[in-house]
Amino acid sequence: MKVCIVGAGAIGGLIGARLAKAGQAQVSALARGATLAALRTQGWRVQEPETLLQVAAQASDSPAQLGVQDVIIIAVKGPALPALAPALVPMIGAQTLIVPAMNGVPWWFLQGMPGLGDAPLESVDPRGGIAAVIPAEQVIGCVVHASAMTPEPGLVLHRSGQGLIIGEPRGGASERGQRLAELLRAGPFDVTVSSNVRYDIWYKLWGNLTMNPVSAITGATIDRILDDPLVRQFCSQAMLEAQALGSRIGCHIEQSPEDRHAVTARLGAFKTSMLQDAEAGRTLELDAIVTAVHEIGQRLGLATPNIDALLGLTRLFGRQHGLYPS
Q: For the chain, give me the number of helices (H) and strands (E)?
A: 14, 10
Task: Say what the pLDDT of residue 113 is.
Answer: 80
* Fold matches, 2-195 and 199-320: no
Task: Give pTM, 2 decimals.
Answer: 0.95
User: Rounded distance, CA 246 to CA 177, Å?
Assistant: 25
Helix 257-265 and helix 229-248, axial crossing angle in degrees, nearest 10 = 120
For residue 314, give every residue at least 6 positions away whose Cβ sits within 8 Å of its Cβ, in sequence order, or none. Answer: 213, 216, 217, 284, 286, 290, 324
Domain range annotation of the chain: 2-195, 199-320
Task: Say what the pLDDT of residue 240 is.
Answer: 98
Which residues are 149's β-sheet partners?
A: 157
Q: Known catalytic residue: 204?
A: yes
Long-range contacts of 298-307 (CB under 8 A, 24+ apart): 299/116, 300/116, 300/245, 300/248, 300/249, 302/241, 302/244, 302/245, 302/248, 303/241, 304/238, 304/241, 304/242, 304/245, 305/241, 306/234, 306/237, 306/238, 306/241, 307/209, 307/238, 307/241, 307/242
CATH class for the domain made up of 2-195? alpha beta
Q: What is the pLDDT along the chain (326 residues), one digit of tens a residue?
A: 999 999 999 999 999 999 999 999 999 999 999 999 999 999 999 999 889 999 999 999 999 999 999 999 999 999 999 999 999 999 999 999 999 999 999 999 988 787 776 788 999 999 999 999 999 999 999 999 999 999 999 999 998 999 999 999 989 999 999 999 999 999 999 999 999 999 999 999 999 999 999 999 999 999 999 999 999 999 999 999 999 999 999 999 999 999 999 999 998 999 999 999 999 999 999 999 999 999 999 999 999 999 999 999 999 999 999 999 98
| CB 108, CB 139: distance < 8 Å | yes
Q: Does domain 199-320 have CATH number 1.10.287.110?
A: no
User: Rounded distance, CA 42 to CA 83, Å?
Assistant: 28
User: Rounded distance, CA 18 to CA 55, Å?
Assistant: 9
Q: Catalytic: which of 2, 21, 77, 204?
A: 204
Give residue-wise pLDDT tens across range 114-168.
Answer: 777 678 899 999 999 999 999 999 999 999 999 999 999 999 999 899 999 999 9
